[in-house]
Structure 1
Amino acid sequence: MHVKILDERVVSRAKARDIDVLVYAPHFVRLPDIRARAARFSDDDLLVVPAREVFTGSWRDRKHVLALGLSAPVPDFITLDGAMDEFARQEAAVVVPHPELLNVSLTSKDIEAYRDDIHAVETYNAKAFSRHNRRGREIAREVGLPGFASSYAHVRGSIGEAWTEFDRAIDSAADLVDALREGAERRVIRRSGISHTIRGAIEFAHLGYENSWGKLDRLLLSGMEPTHPRHIAYDGRFDDVSVY
């Protein structure tokens, strides 16, 4: 339900682990580019669904929201209200990755406030510690929303460490959006054992890089992100909800 990388090796590993669908949502990549890459790596045995994990708020207090089924691009660094309004306008499926993880997540209060516009809460993330996943399950139960699992793979070895099994065939992106919006029955499944624990630790270590050197590169060296709300690609549509 959520991977950050996509290439031939990712596809091969997903198929070897009997995964039918990958939701591809890389950071700071515009929706048309995500769609093109997802289409390139989809075939009869593996469907790759394009999605956006939108960074709402500022770098200091950013809250990630994952949207599937977008009909038009949505930038990062806009208000949470602005993002949720746009997701609702586009009738996207909206799910909450890694709730209450560090400073990059929706809190239980956020989720409760947007309860009617959110379709699932992540209850198992292969990258997260046990206490974080336990908290995700508690939040989903408290607000009465279905759960989902993901590898949250930033490295290839994490593909297939956790997945969500629906009660229906998912043969298209629209099928997945419908299943989420309708609250379809599902099972949250994960691997276990020492290799699973090690892969989770590797993923968490990557988070440290992403929020230190990776962040420094983006802020100081790379210039304006392609998903910055004031980028020319958005034609000023999000200026009123931009936080920068």
Structure 2
Amino acid sequence: MTDSDEFRVDPHVKVLDERVVRRARRAGLDAIVYAPHFTRLPDVRAQAAAYSSADLLVIPAREVFTGSWRERKHVLAIGLDEPVPDFISLEAAMAEFDRQDAAVVAPHPGFLNVSLDEADLRAYRDVVDAAEIYNPKHLPRHNRRARALAEALEFPPVASSYAHLPSSVGVAYTAFDGVEDEADLVEALKRGDGRRVGHETGLDRWRTTAAELGHLLYENTWEKADRLFLQGTEPTHPSHIAYEGAFDDVAVY
């Protein structure tokens, strides 16, 4: 933990291992929010618990891919009690997040075709609790657009590393007062509590951006083709047996 009451969290991290934990501690973080792709909530929770300690809290979350693969909208939900699959309609996902009283964050708003756009943010103004205004995978113009959207629609901001690589963890963070655990963070996000965002600048920022963009290119070519079309149904696909048909009527892919 940091010496003051300030609680620094990297609110969107995709990777978790001992390297990530060491990196987070060196970056002065108190917590990371762990939200890997295509991993069911019980497994995310188990992994988060295994790597949590008195020095670093690992908070489980889900970045749900709503809509079809070609028209997906990513939404980050923190504080879920029950699993929510990918590839269901945006409307159904938002209703489920609301039912579970989760904290909902719009990651990388307005970015390409994988994000909530202005119309979505307006439509779900009462469900979305915060908008990400910075992550290092963005170019500066993307971060400026995200910040402009958040300010225009009066969403409280968050900054995250959106780390797909261990070396990126902690390069951006959001700091709160009076937060100590997952429940506190969920409530702080939902209440819109004051917070401070920070991130690396200069050459360090550009090194992280270059590395993450290189990973993005790989992730959206061979890895995803292999994952989706060669290995079969994802564990977070709504037709997976684990969901017992609960989302069959809102599945879109």
Q: Same fold (TM over 0.5)?
A: yes
TM-score (ref. length: structure 1) = 0.98
Coordinate RMSD, CA, aligned: 0.7
**Structure 2 residue aligned with 1:180:** 189
Query: Which digits, 9 at most, give the CA deviation of each residue in 1:141-166, with x for residues without a partner?
Result: 11111010000000011011100011
Q: CA deviation at 1:204?
A: 1.4
Q: CA deviation at 1:44?
A: 0.5
SS at the partner of 2:148?
helix
**Residue among 64, 86, 107 paired with 1:54:** 64
Aligned counterparts of 1:195 and 1:137: Cα–Cα separation in 2: 21
> In the TM superposition, what are the counterparts of 1:100-115 in structure 2 within 5 Å?
100-115=110-125
Q: CA deviation at 1:91?
A: 0.3
**Structure 1 residue aligned with 2:159:** 149
**Structure 2 residue aligned with 1:68:** 78
> In the TM superposition, what are the counterparts of 1:1-244 in structure 2 within 5 Å?
1-166=11-176, 168-244=177-253
SS at the partner of 2:137?
coil
Aligned counterparts of 1:214 and 1:233: Cα–Cα separation in 2: 24
Q: Which structure 2 segments of 5+ residues have no match?
A: 1-10
Aligned counterparts of 1:170 and 1:204: Cα–Cα separation in 2: 32
Give the residue type in structure 1 aligned to 2:79. Answer: G
Q: Runs ≥4 in structure 1, deviation > 6 angstroms?
A: none
Give the residue type in structure 2 aligned to 1:128. Answer: H
Q: CA deviation at 1:208?
A: 1.2
Aligned residues: 243
TM-score (ref. length: structure 2) = 0.95
Aligned counterparts of 1:214 and 1:184: Cα–Cα separation in 2: 38
Q: CA deviation at 1:205?
A: 1.5
Give the residue type in structure 1 aligned to 2:245. Answer: G
Query: Which digits, 9 at most, give the CA deviation of each residue in 1:191-224, with x for residues without a partner?
Result: 1111221111110121111111111111221100
Query: Which digits, 9 at most, give the CA deviation of each residue in 1:60-91, with x for residues without a partner?
Result: 11000000000100000000000000000000
Q: Percent identity?
A: 60
Q: Which structure 1 segments of 5+ residues have no match?
A: none
Q: CA deviation at 1:170?
A: 2.2
SS at the partner of 2:146?
helix
